[in-house]
Amino acid sequence: MSPRRLDAPYGQLIDRDSPVEFEFDGELIRGYRGDSVVSALLGEDRWLISRSFKYHRPRGPLSLAGHDANTLVQTPRAPNQLAEDLDAQDQEIVSGQNFLGSLRADRYALLDRLGRFLPVGFYYRAFFKPRGIWRYWEAFIRKTAGLGVANLRVKPRYSDKQYLFCDVAVVGAGPAGISAALTAAAGGAEVLLIDENPYTGGALTYHRFGLEDVTREHMLAQLRSSLAAAANIRVLSGATCNAWFSDHYLPVFQGERLLKVRANTCILATGSSEQPVVFRNNDVPGIVLCSALERLLLHHGVCPEGPAVVLAGNDDAYLTALTAIDAGLTLAAVVDMRPATDNPALAAALAERGVTCYFNATVYEAHEDASGLRLGSVDVYNIETAGQVGALTARIECQLLAMSAGLMPAYQLACHGGAKLEYVDEKAAFALTQLPEGMLLAGGVNSIHTLEAVCADGRNAGRQALRALSRPADDDEAVECALRVNHPWPIFKHPRGREFVDFDEDLQVKDIINSARLGYRDIQLVKRYSTVGMGPSQGRHSALTTARLIAQATDRTVSETGVTTARPPVKPEPLGLLAGRRFHPVRKTPLDSRHRALGAHMIPAGSWRRPAFYGKPSQRTACIAAEAQAVRTGVGIIDVSTLGGIDLRGPDAAEFLNRIYTYGFLKQPVGKTRYAVLTSEQGVVVDDGVAARLADEHFYVTATTTGVDRVYRDMLRWNAQWRLSVDIAQVTSAYSAVNVAGPRSRDVLESAGCDLDLSAEAFPYLACREACVGGIPVRIMRVGFVGELGYELHVPSLMAQSLWDRLLSAGAAFDIKPFGVETQRLLRLEKGHIIVGQDTDGMSHPGEVGLEWAISRKKPFFVGRRSVEILMAQPLKRQLVGFSLSVHAPQPKEGHLVIRSGDIVGNVTSCEVSATLNQIVGLAYVHPDDALPGCDITIRTDDAVCVQATVVALPFYDPQNERQAL
């Protein structure tokens, strides 16, 4: 065992039978299972952990609770890890960060001597003069900025999220939190007890609450035993509640999981943050908070090298001194900033142990030892008035200084809920008020500090929670706490500065005062100007001092000044945990496995995956050409299951359709389809499809893949007003669909066992039927989207695979070839069909895109009619036309600009190389004067190369429409 390690009962958290090792800055560090990286380092008398942010001053631990930025270290996985939160057993290599050279000899430490040139907010006023200088500064700043090195090759850990539900969430498992949880649970509530530490008990695990440390362990054991016996309490240890959101929604981080807690009521038993004393060099390694020394002794069994000094602003610091003496630490003196202790027995107890007490005195300056990296001595001065000292009383050689200026409620979560932290200047006491409904406080956060009162306060909170849940509860106990824990002015400005207010940001007393002098009177503006409270500590140790300094500088009280706003998160949180397990829903058609088996190259289409073509991406052009040729000369089959489908059923189905779409549908015969265009109320084309009348009161309407949800939503919205007798059902998923297209498609269907007369006379172009193919029920529509004889078969989805297999099997004799969506886009382009959303935009009205014919001017109303009429009555500003150019010309791409006399007049919306036509063909918006066939247009392609294309009449292919009507 290391000579600095104490025997039990010290070192509750470590397992002395399980030694661990890791490397810190090239040195082997030995500790025990249960040690943090910091406690293991301190066990080896290594106090230099990091370098400060701005001045690169040597820094060691302050709180030992993971509540400050003094122990930020680098691990191979990530920078900026709080060494107090890192388990030593999990580490192999840990190093310091933010230095040039080595942690011990940081060449950037020169900045500490240049402090006078780096006043608060200097970066707002520097680096930009003389003109052009910034680029030189930028290179330097980018090189020096940032802490640590991000490992860009790190493999992400698996992290996820989970909801947790409870009646009462208790944050903080100290004596108050446990008492509250036990009371609420005894009343029948389901309780979640959350604590950031890997153990329960809070301050009971390290702090003595009286002169004789006899009740602490007994009470801790009792509370833990009761917790274990309570069936309806779930304890979350090692879990950080990082925020409070409306309705008691609490994000809690535990390991690699973000727990999203939903509670009916919330009890905050988060305790308080011990405050440092502000004096010159109060950041030298070896200067810690009193609670940190207690943790070090009781949790980790590390007894630091002495002698030590305790700097007291309250009676609690005396208890720390007694604990330290009992542990064997040599205590050189207690320096008390007050004239006397509130409890005289404490001073007497120290006197009995031969400890010198200096009253009405303070440490005014700390000095490093010969190494410059560790505390060597402190200068003790008499206090004359608040913040003013008299003569030097003593210089005390010491390696450790434990200080306590007071306790500030851990107010962050309450403030997230809108609570106000009030400060009573006369008593130097805090009160949290204006709590949100259902939020309760218990213990230290409620400014209750004696052990009995803390537990009673916890029980009261548990009872109030029960009442909030409409459960019976006993009357509250009377709770009083007269303990004065805060020194009113533990700030001692030094002529040579370096009295640190904010350790994270290296802000000194003068920085805060100068902010006020520069006109930033409001505490929130001071925060923004000086960055005080913006570091990882989030103002835990700086907010009160800042408020006091600003109050003094602006001649106000602290309560008038207030403290900076606390916002989530309470502690730094990894972005990976916020991301959690990522869900990217991908929709697949029932034929997905078939496409993959056929070697399809799959691409996203909205939220779906669809085959682009079948074959290797490297052979894209050849694959598409072969598929297109099969459709043009033989037969092809494409999965169009992503097409939207909506069933309209009821007596008013035709009337409803007639109002929604631009065309007339009242007289549409049963067994026929009609093209359906949907315009918005602004007259813009927003969707299109085909409406098939399957029965007098039954229409089956298709919509675009990405537009169907909007169409369905709009239909529901409109009928909420119209109240027509029609059922509107989204059947996109209920029906899958395939399109069999090509001159041999009729042969394939007949061979597959279609029970219809498929002749052109019996089943003509644009007809629709319900039939069976080999016993599989289908809705069949004769469509011509790709410009060939074609049948669109809509099949109940569970039967889609059977139908596909049957068609492919029957089609084998006709050399049927599956084709993908990119081939389909080429084929429909050759036929001059537009795709809404690709060839239209948010301004396209029917007149611009050649859909005048699809507008019924006879019916009194359709959605968007008034706007369509207005728009189409105006001269066109652009027009969608077909264009062609030589296959040897540079191919325009979608989005390329159409130029006219140097001005942009339009853009290309579709363009493909057509092997069938041996041309490049496309659609583009052009100036109306250039819209006639034969006009030349100029398209600016890649690298600003302009090509001349010729406007041609649509369609490019089969202008007589003979092939689709075969």
Partner 1 sequence: MTSGLASPVGAAQVPAPMTGKTLALHDLSLALRSGVRGPGAADWLRTQSMPTDLQPNTIENISNGRLLMALSTREFWLLEPDADASAAAPPSAAVATEAWPLYNQHSHAWLVLAGGPKADMMAKLCGVDLRENAFALGQVAQTQMAHISVIVAHHLWRDTPVFSMFVDQSLADFAWTALSDAMSEFRASTD
Among 343, 514, 557, 802, binds partner 1 (CB under 8 A): 802
Q: Does 850 bind partner 1 (CB under 8 A)?
A: no
With tokens 């009462």, the residue in question is: 168
Q: Does 694 bind partner 1 (CB under 8 A)?
A: yes
Among 93, 141, 670, 734, binds partner 1 (CB under 8 A): 734
The span of 156-164, 369-377, 741-749, 934-942 binding partner 1 (CB under 8 A) equals: 156-164
Q: Does 247 bind partner 1 (CB under 8 A)?
A: no
Helix axes 509-517, 523-530, angle to 10 degrees: 120
Q: Which is nearer to partner 1, 315 or 592 (CB)?
A: 592
Q: Does 593 bind partner 1 (CB under 8 A)?
A: yes
Query: What residues pair up with 566 in beta bridges, in sequence order?
Result: none
Q: Which is nearer to partner 1, 12 or 801 (CB)?
A: 801
Pairing of strands 946-952, 936-940: antiparallel
Among 695, 762, 946, 953, binds partner 1 (CB under 8 A): 695
Q: Does 801 bind partner 1 (CB under 8 A)?
A: yes
Cα angle 522, 524, 526; round to 5: 70
Among 130, 152, 496, 583, binds partner 1 (CB under 8 A): 583
Tokens representing 60?
């060691």
Q: Does 221 bind partner 1 (CB under 8 A)?
A: no
The span of 327-335, 366-374, 791-799, 844-852 binding partner 1 (CB under 8 A) equals: 791-799
Give a three-class secondary structure readout of 530-571.
HCCCCCCCCCCCCHHHHHHHHHHHCCCCHHHHCCCCCCCCCC
For residues 613 and 623, give the distance between their C-alpha atoms in angstroms, rounded to a whole number.
7
Q: Tell how far CA 265 is from the center of its chain.
A: 25
Among 452, 697, 709, 841, binds partner 1 (CB under 8 A): 697
CB of 470 to partner 1, least distance (A): 15
Q: Which is nearer to partner 1, 550 or 646 (CB)?
A: 646
CB of 723 to partner 1, least distance (A): 11
Distances (CA, A) of 592 to 390, 611, 780, 918: 85, 9, 22, 33
Give residue 44's identity as a one-letter amino acid code: E
Instruction: Using alpha carbons, select from 220, 287, 291 the residue that is nearest to residue 65.
Output: 291
Q: Does 165 bind partner 1 (CB under 8 A)?
A: yes
CB atoms under 10 Å from CB of 110, counted, come to: 11
For residues 579 and 156, give the distance between their C-alpha atoms in angstroms, rounded to a whole number.
11
Q: Does 798 bind partner 1 (CB under 8 A)?
A: yes
The span of 175-183, 475-483, 709-717, 773-781 binding partner 1 (CB under 8 A) equals: 773-781
Q: Does 735 bind partner 1 (CB under 8 A)?
A: yes
Tokens representing 646?
């909506």
Q: Which is nearer to partner 1, 764 or 777 (CB)?
A: 777
Among 5, 30, 104, 588, binds partner 1 (CB under 8 A): 588
Q: Does 619 bind partner 1 (CB under 8 A)?
A: no
Tokens representing 933?
């066939």
Q: Does 800 bind partner 1 (CB under 8 A)?
A: yes
For residues 612 and 615, give the distance between their C-alpha atoms in angstroms, rounded to a whole number.
9
Helix axes 543-553, 509-517, angle to 10 degrees: 40
The span of 155-163, 292-300, 321-329, 893-901 binding partner 1 (CB under 8 A) equals: 155-163
CB of 676 to partner 1, least distance (A): 19
Q: Which is nearer to partner 1, 260 or 620 (CB)?
A: 260
CB atoms under 10 Å from CB of 5, counted, come to: 17
Q: Which is nearer to partner 1, 643 or 939 (CB)?
A: 643
Is-contact 44 340, C-beta < 8 A?
no
CB of 805 to partner 1, least distance (A): 9
Give residue 471's identity as a one-letter amino acid code: R
Tokens representing 52?
């400060």
3-state secondary structure (DSSP) of residue 258: strand
Pairing of strands 946-952, 879-885: antiparallel
Pairing of strands 897-900, 879-885: unpaired
3-state secondary structure (DSSP) of residue 869: helix
CB of 751 to partner 1, least distance (A): 18
Q: Does 671 bind partner 1 (CB under 8 A)?
A: no
3-state secondary structure (DSSP) of residue 464: helix
CB of 734 to partner 1, least distance (A): 4
Q: Which is nearer to partner 1, 257 or 420 (CB)?
A: 257
Is-contact 701 648, C-beta < 8 A?
yes
Q: Does 919 bind partner 1 (CB under 8 A)?
A: no
Q: Does 159 bind partner 1 (CB under 8 A)?
A: no
Is-contact 241 194, C-beta < 8 A?
yes
The span of 48-56, 160-168, 285-293, 853-861 binding partner 1 (CB under 8 A) equals: 160-168
CB of 649 to partner 1, least distance (A): 5
Q: Which is nearer to partner 1, 692 or 924 (CB)?
A: 692
The span of 732-740, 746-754, 896-904, 930-938 binding partner 1 (CB under 8 A) equals: 732-740
How many residues bind partner 1, per CB under 8 A?
A: 48
For residues 423 and 420, give the distance between their C-alpha atoms in angstroms, rounded to a whole number.
10
Q: Does 698 bind partner 1 (CB under 8 A)?
A: yes
With tokens 């691990």, the residue in question is: 75
Instruction: Using alpha carbons, select from 503, 399, 374, 813 the residue that is nearest to residue 634.
Output: 813
The span of 398-406, 456-464, 643-651, 855-863 binding partner 1 (CB under 8 A) equals: 643-651
Is-contact 177 458, C-beta < 8 A?
yes
Distances (CA, A) of 843 to 833, 863, 871: 19, 16, 10
CB of 827 to partner 1, least distance (A): 25
Q: Does 716 bind partner 1 (CB under 8 A)?
A: no
DSSP state of 479: -
Among 395, 427, 517, 581, binds partner 1 (CB under 8 A): 581
Among 161, 471, 521, 940, binds partner 1 (CB under 8 A): 161
Q: Does 84 bind partner 1 (CB under 8 A)?
A: no
Q: Does 590 bind partner 1 (CB under 8 A)?
A: yes
Q: Does 930 bind partner 1 (CB under 8 A)?
A: no
Q: Which is nearer to partner 1, 47 or 608 (CB)?
A: 608
- The residues in 479-538 that bind partner 1, with binding defined as CB under 8 A, are none
- The residues in 330-349 that bind partner 1, with binding defined as CB under 8 A, are none
For residues 440 and 457, give the distance between their C-alpha atoms in angstroms, rounded to a whole number.
10
User: What is the DSSP code string of 677-700?
Assistant: EEE-TTS-EEEEEEEEEEETTEEE
DSSP state of 157: P
Q: Does 766 bind partner 1 (CB under 8 A)?
A: no
**HSE-up (13 A, CA, CB side) for residue 165:** 0
Q: Which is nearer to partner 1, 44 or 190 (CB)?
A: 190
The interface mask with partner 1, positions 186-215, x = CB under 8 A, is ----x-------------------------
Distances (CA, A) of 773 to 306, 468, 758, 815: 93, 65, 12, 19
Cα angle 808, 812, 817; round to 5: 65
Q: Which is nearer to partner 1, 677 or 803 (CB)?
A: 803
CB of 161 to partner 1, least distance (A): 7
For residues 451 and 223, give the distance between their C-alpha atoms in angstroms, rounded to a whole number.
13
Q: Does 729 bind partner 1 (CB under 8 A)?
A: yes
Q: Does 775 bind partner 1 (CB under 8 A)?
A: yes
Which contiguous run of DSSP H or E holds residue 751? helix 745-751
Q: Which residues bind partner 1 (CB under 8 A)?
A: 160-165, 190, 260, 262, 581, 583, 585-590, 592-593, 608, 641, 647, 649-650, 694-695, 697-698, 725, 727, 729, 731-735, 770, 772, 775-777, 796-802
